[in-house]
């Protein structure tokens, strides 16, 4: 089996040097989870929903409206 080139060996050692030996931000088993504050999520989703639901209804519904108009006018 051929030995790795010097550049490949350097890149492998650099990658191993930069990786952490443990998972990042791992919580201990003795620590309780923080409670989720739902209010900001509800506010954000309600503000976003006032735009996205009508916009998606328009994007999805315009072909149906166009077909209805074309059938009504006889085109």
Tens digit of pLDDT for each residue in 8-58? 888 888 888 887 776 666 767 787 878 999 999 999 999 999 999 999 999
d(CA 65, CA 70): 9
DSSP 56: H
pLDDT at 4 over 70: yes
The answer on pLDDT for 1 being more than 60 is no
Q: Are 4 and 12 in contact (CB under 8 A)?
A: yes
| DSSP letter assigned to residue 19 | S
Ramachandran quadrant class, 57 (left: phi over 0; alpha: psi -120 to 50; beta: rest): alpha
Cα–Cα distance for residue pair 66/71, rounded to 1 Å: 9
């Amino acid at each position: 089996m051929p030995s790795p080139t010097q550049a490949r060996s350097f890149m492998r050692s650099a990658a191993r040097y930069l990786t952490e030996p443990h998972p990042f931000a791992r919580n201990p088993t003795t620590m309780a989870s923080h409670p989720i504050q739902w209010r900001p999520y509800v506010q954000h989703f309600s503000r976003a929903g006032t735009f996205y639901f009508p916009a998606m209804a328009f994007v999805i519904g315009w072909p149906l409206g166009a077909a209805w108009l074309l059938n009504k006018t006889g085109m």
